[in-house]
Structure formats: C-alpha cells, structure tokens
Amino acid sequence: MNPLLDLHPEVAEALHHGRPVVALESTIISHGMPWPQNAETAFLVEAAVREHGAVPATIAVIEGRLKAGLTRAQIESLAQQGTAVAKASRRDLPVLMASGRTGATTVAATMIIAAMAGIRMFATGGIGGVHRGAAASFDISADLQELARTPVAVVCAGAKAILDLPLTLEYLETHGVPVLGYGTDELPAFYSRQSGLKLQHRLDTPAEVARVLQAQWKLAQATHGGGVVIANPIAAQHEIPQARMAAYIAQALQEAQQQGVAGAAVTPFLLARVSALTGGASLATNIQLVLGNARLAAQVAVQVAAQVAAA
C-alpha cells in the first residue's frame, strides 16, 4: 500500500475484492455549499452511491494525510469549518502534507488521490474549466490539466455555467480527454440541461460507458493517457433553464470583477453569489445534480466490476 495514503477499511476491503468504489470530492463540501446543506448533501451522496451498489470514498487531506474514505465525523468537520479549511488542488498537496494541515480536495486533487488508491470512478457536481476572460487572466482550472494526465473517470453535470464552456471543450479536445454525453448530444451546463454545444460521443447505458472506460484504461496504460469526462445532465424537473441563469451569472461575474476576486477564490465566490441571487434555487439544483451524478457513477462502477469479472 502507498505509505502516503490512508484507506478507510471499508474502501480497502472493497478494492481488495474488486468491488465497485466511487470517489467523491471535498472542496464541494467545504467551499462549494453552505453549512449545514453541505454536510447533509455529503451524507446523501454517500448513501446514493451505496444504494446503487458501490462503496463511497470521500477524499480529503486530513492533518497532512491523504485519505480515501472519511468517517462521518471527518466529513462533518470539513462541512462545519467551511472555507476555514484550505482548498487543495494539485499544487497545494505537498505543502499540506509537509505541514500536517487539512485540505478539502478539488476535482484535480481528488483524482490524484483516487488514482493512488486504485479508484477509477469519481462523481462530482461540475468540473472546473476555462474561466471567462481567461485570455487576460490565464485562469484555467487545474482540473482540466489533471483530466489530461490522470486516468480517472469523472461524472459531472458538465462544467459550471459560470465558465467559458466553448473554450473548456476546446481545451479538453486539445488534451485528448474524451467527453461522453450520457443520454445527451450536447454538453450540459450544470444548472441547465443544455448549452447548445454539441458533443462527439453519446452513450445511453452504464454498460456502454463501462466498455469505453475499459478501453480508455488500456490505452492510458500504453500511452500515459488520462481521464474521461462523463457529462450527465441534471434531471429535467430540477433544472434551471440557461436563459434564466444567464442574468444571475452575469451579475455574479461583474461583482467578482468589481471586488477584485481572483485565483482560487473565484469559483467559491461565484457559486455562493449565484446561490444568493437565485434565492437558494441554484443550491437546490446543485444538490440534485450531485446526487444524480453519484447514482450514475455507482451504476457505471458496478458495470465495470462485472465486465472485469467476466473477462
């Protein structure tokens, strides 16, 4: 076992027996949602993974240790401390490890720890991406670079609508990251089912997705290839159509600019502002889309395990 890593006993046992495991991130808990909805959501997401036949492994850095699988108390503490916990992306990991500090892991850092643990499926809300105005700010999430190099499949509701979605897709294409539409021909826009951006690949069942992942992992081994994005639109009854979101997003972006919000603070600021501007509607949608992604990730993980066992 990797000496940097602590596996929760239930996660270790499942991995040892080739049973399905789904990784979950913790930035969404500490920085993506307010207390107490963040703790409630984290527990609901773990329950959704279990209901669909997989073991959840929520990932974080706790007092300098890389953790795959957290206790209830650890999740609760990350939720309660909120933004007092460091937001940990790839660049932050060695500093947190060396200083024994705690960090909530982004998609990028969660992928790294999942890969170290041998977990290939990961569910989140939305991946980071190319920010609007990136030509001037250079603000491109490290999530995209991680998807290019680390072989983990990320189920998400597309990229957050606060981003530049066309440029995010271009970046993923350049870096050879497959983006699979699940039951859709276009990239979902997080709160909304549609973005108007066509995808090249559509799959309609967990078994089909699992077969593509198996192929990608073989390729990744031979070519040092990276991850896969599984883009799963929010259920229709929970979506906020793009036209309604556009004005709120524009206002949140303007406020961020006026207040000089930059760097890692941008994404949490925008999510919180959009939530306030929509009177909490975007938070309810955010919770539902994470749950939907957790269910699909578990279903795909179950299919992967079955296909491996049958091979």
158 contacts ligand PSU (rule: CB under 6 A): no
C-beta separation of 31 from 104 below 8 A: yes
Q: Between the CA atoms of 155, 158, 160 and 161, what dihedral angle is there, to the nearest 10 degrees?
A: -160
Look at residue 158 and give the partner it binds from Mn ion, ligand PSU, none, a contact being a CB closer than 5 to 8 Å depending on partner kind: none
> 20, 103, 126, 226: which one contacts ligand PSU (CB under 6 A)?
126
Contacts of 13 (CB under 8 A, 6+ apart): 19
Greatest C-alpha distance within the chain? 57
Look at residue 125 and give the partner it binds from Mn ion, ligand PSU, none, a contact being a CB closer than 5 to 8 Å depending on partner kind: ligand PSU
- Kindly give the interhelix angle for 281-310 and 37-51, rounded to the nearest 10 degrees: 30
For Mn ion, the closer of residues 175 and 211 by Cβ is 175
Q: Is 13 annotated as catalytic?
A: no
Q: Which range binds ligand PSU by CB under 6 A, 21-29, 40-48, 92-100, 226-234?
A: 21-29
Least Cβ distance, residue 285 to Mn ion (angstroms): 22
Check the CA dihedral 129-48-64-28 and report its sign.
positive
Other residues' Cβ atoms within 10 Å of the Cβ of residue 278: 19
Q: How many residues bind Mn ion (CB under 5 A)?
A: 1
Beta strands in 12-80 (DSSP E): 21-24, 55-62, 65-68
C-beta separation of 8 from 67 below 8 A: yes
Q: Is 160 annotated as catalytic?
A: yes
Draw the binding track, 270-309, toward ligand PSU (x: CB under 6 A; -: no contact).
-x--------------x-----------------------
Task: Give residues 128-157 in contact with ligand PSU (rule: CB under 6 A).
Answer: 128, 141-143
139 contacts Mn ion (rule: CB under 5 A): yes
Q: Using CB under 6 A, list all residues that contact ligand PSU.
A: 25, 27-28, 31-32, 89, 106-107, 124-126, 128, 141-143, 160, 264, 267, 271, 286
